[in-house]
Structure 1
Amino acid sequence: MDIEPDDPYESLPESSAAVTHMMAGAAAGIMEHCVMYPVDCVKTRMQCLVPDPRADYRSVPDAFYKIVRFEGMKNTVRGISVVVGGAGPAHALYFACYEKLKKTISGGRQGNHFAHGVAGCVATLIHDAVMNPVDVIKQRMQMFNSPYQTCRLCTKQVYQEEGFRAFYRSYTTQLTMNIPFQCVHFMTYEIMQDLLNKDRKYDPLSHVISGATAGASAAVITMPLDVCKTLLNTQEHCARTQLSYVNGMISAFRTVYEFQGLSGFFRGLTARVLFQMPATAISWSVYEFFKFFLTKKPADIDDNKYMSGISVQASSSSSS
């Protein structure tokens, strides 16, 4: 009995693996953030500590309605340009690092979920180093009645008024959130793949289900830290805390609790889950598709056409 060779897009030669993972990762990151950007805007708005009465949203549908009704549809995508510019390289490095470390730590064996978690942690360090300044600009553009007209002007003004440190003020909190987030995310994704796609073939449905489950699980667990990260990025109402700026995770936790109590740490939870489920599903499905597409040889395509032709002929013969 012949043993089938490994799936070509799971056993790439070293010379092409990194480039393929980076190209697939960049496409996945851009698609994920662009498609779900309006929901991300709602999440940022709903995490406000003391919202303007005109931006006090009761639910995700209510937020969408008010933003579109009173501010226009374009305000749901304010700041998207900086995300497009940052998500590509950030996710390219992120997925390439994850795939390399996953294979190195596990020795190429499937089912080593500890290796998946460690690889996800290290990949997060690189990803967040690129994305943290992007998140600062993006979230300041997303806030209600934002004073910034463009991403470029926002970057310039933040740098002039708060210095370079402002772009990494939330970096420690982001890592504190994203390291457990990515551990849960990658481990859940790989566990779901073990259940739904044990042979690790290209299977779009299993990638979507696994990605959505992983995103929702990780979003719920790390929600309080996401609220604190938003505060550190936007510096909302920092004057009322009698501090020049809200610095550090402890200060952010204290400020959120002062304004909103324990419930404040879960403001925008529904929006975050609604963002993360499809966003992670999109990210993994696009990533796996491009990884498959970029490594699919012409011979494979011809074989598929040949096999499709045999199937058509067989069905025609059986029907006659």
Structure 2
Amino acid sequence: MSGQRSAPAARDDIAPLQQMVASCSGAILTSLFVTPLDVVKIRLQAQKNPFPKGKCFVYCNGLMDHICVCVNGNTKAWYKAPGHFSGTLDAFVNIVRHEGIKSLWSGLPPTLVMAVPATVIYFTCYDQLCAALRVRMGTYADEAPLLAGPTARLGAATVISPLELIRTKLQSQKQSYRELTACIRSAVANKGWLSLWRGLGPTLLRDVPFSAIYWYSYEKGKKWLCERHNAREPTFTIAFISGAVSGSIASIVTLPFDVVKTRRQVELGELQAKNLSCKVSSSTFSLMRRIVTQEGFSRLLAGFFPRLIKVAPACAIMISTYEFGKAFFRKHNQEKTVSLLQTTNT
């Protein structure tokens, strides 16, 4: 993506397939960097408050959140491994020393299957929508990210939501695919197709505003840095800084929604795991009022620092890798075009 309004044509040099490859690379790299942070966090949580059977917790690989269910007391599961850690650094050192460095990525495979496709859909749709909106919005082209970001996030989350429900059931009940298919058909027959998207609402209430704030802040910050450094295209450093700052701003503003979303998602995950009907009837804002009344306003800001130190680097790594990939393909396409012209002229 160009840092200047005067070069929108450069966007057209990137084919959707090339955008998908660039975002896929960014998603994989982000997961590799951020997954160890969440694995250590969950190990520390399990050490202080052991997860009982059927209990859900939220796992994030830097790209999206996933509900995980404790199936039984099997201590070999990555989220139930024994340990006596005094802190985060001690956990890193002892996990590597006693279990091997691969253990830091032991939570990656179950979620990467969905995280990468979701990210590819999200980033590719954003770029395509933003380019189209900039053309149509004319003098208001700078506000295009405010529409493109939420719309792309809405589409990606909607596509992935049924897969998250299916994954939760598979993980919690160890069903065969035949049994799972029968379960899904029964749910659809009794409650309709919308039952496959149960729990989507709380996720969208956080992710849609996050996307609007993130992309608008990112585009503004990137443009300002490009102009300040006389760069026609954003460098890796410019994209990294812009991504980190915009991710921090978005994570801080949407933190109360993240707290509510996590509580409701865990509750819904446990109901799904036990095949119980949904009993979460209160709206998101009703739950927010209840949290403030019963636990105080500070509970809506719970997890501020852990969320910030995870979201900021994840956003920075993802967007800078994505921009680097697009720059690579843009240069490749230009060289290919020049080569074809030279061949034609000769």
TM-score by length of 2: 0.63
Q: Compare 39-48 and 253-262 and name the one that shifted more.
A: 39-48
- Measure the CA separation in 1 of the matches of 2:301 and 2:92: 19
- Residues 239 and 319 of structure 2 are in contact (CA less than 8 Å); yes or no, is this contact kept in structure 1? yes
**Deviation readout 1:7-43 (Å, 9 max, x if unpaired):** 7993324xx5222222212222232233212334566
Does 2:15 match 1:17? yes
Q: Secondary structure at the match of 2:130?
A: helix
Aligned residues between the structures? 285
Pair 1:173–1:132, CA change in 2 (3 A): same
For 2:33, the equivalent position in structure 1 comes to 35
For 2:310, the equivalent position in structure 1 comes to 275
Pair 1:11–1:134, CA change in 2 (3 A): same
Match of 1:171 among 191, 194, 200: 200
What residue ranges of structure 2 are gaps of 5+ in the alignment? 1-5, 52-81, 189-193, 272-276, 339-346
- Measure the CA separation in 2 of the matches of 1:294 and 1:19: 10
**Deviation readout 1:46-98 (Å, 9 max, x if unpaired):** 999x955999x998658768988999977754542232211222122212221
Deviation at 1:261, TM superposition (A): 3.5
Percentage identity across paired residues of the two chains = 27
Match of 1:84 among 107, 112, 133: 112
Does 2:319 match 1:284? yes
For 1:308, the equivalent position in structure 2 comes to none
For 1:246, the equivalent position in structure 2 comes to 280
Match of 1:189 among 218, 240, 248: 218
Q: Secondary structure at the match of 2:12?
A: coil
Map of 1:68-79 to 2, 5 A cutoff? 77-79=105-107
- Residues 39 and 107 of structure 2 are in contact (CA less than 8 Å); yes or no, is this contact kept in structure 1? no
**Deviation readout 1:241-280 (Å, 9 max, x if unpaired):** xx96435524653665577433322222211111111101
Q: Compare 223-232 and 26-35 and name the one that shifted more.
A: 26-35
Amino acid corresponding to residue 129 of structure 1 in structure 2: T
**Deviation readout 1:209-267 (Å, 9 max, x if unpaired):** 0000011110111111112222222228979xxx9643552465366557743332222
Pair 1:176–1:31, CA change in 2 (3 A): same
For 2:64, the equivalent position in structure 1 comes to none
Pair 1:114–1:181, CA change in 2 (3 A): same
Pair 1:104–1:233, CA change in 2 (3 A): same
Match of 1:107 among 135, 147, 155: 135
Map of 1:80-229 to 2, 5 A cutoff? 80-107=108-135, 112-132=141-161, 148=172, 168-198=197-227, 199-229=231-261
Pair 1:133–1:90, CA change in 2 (3 A): same
Deviation at 1:177, TM superposition (A): 0.9
- Residues 202 and 265 of structure 2 are in contact (CA less than 8 Å); yes or no, is this contact kept in structure 1? no
For 1:306, the equivalent position in structure 2 comes to none
TM-score by length of 1: 0.68
For 2:267, the equivalent position in structure 1 comes to 235
Q: Secondary structure at the match of 1:93?
A: helix
Q: Compare 101-110 and 262-271 and name the one that shifted more.
A: 101-110
Pair 1:85–1:300, CA change in 2 (3 A): same
- Measure the CA separation in 2 of the matches of 1:90 and 1:104: 21
For 1:318, the equivalent position in structure 2 comes to none
- Measure the CA separation in 2 of the matches of 1:149 and 1:132: 19
What residue ranges of structure 1 are gaps of 5+ in the alignment? 1-5, 142-146, 304-320
- Measure the CA separation in 2 of the matches of 1:76 and 1:163: 37
Deviation at 1:124, TM superposition (A): 0.8
- Measure the CA separation in 1 of the matches of 2:176 and 2:253: 34
- Measure the CA separation in 2 of the matches of 1:238 and 1:251: 21
Amino acid corresponding to residue 148 of structure 2 in structure 1: A
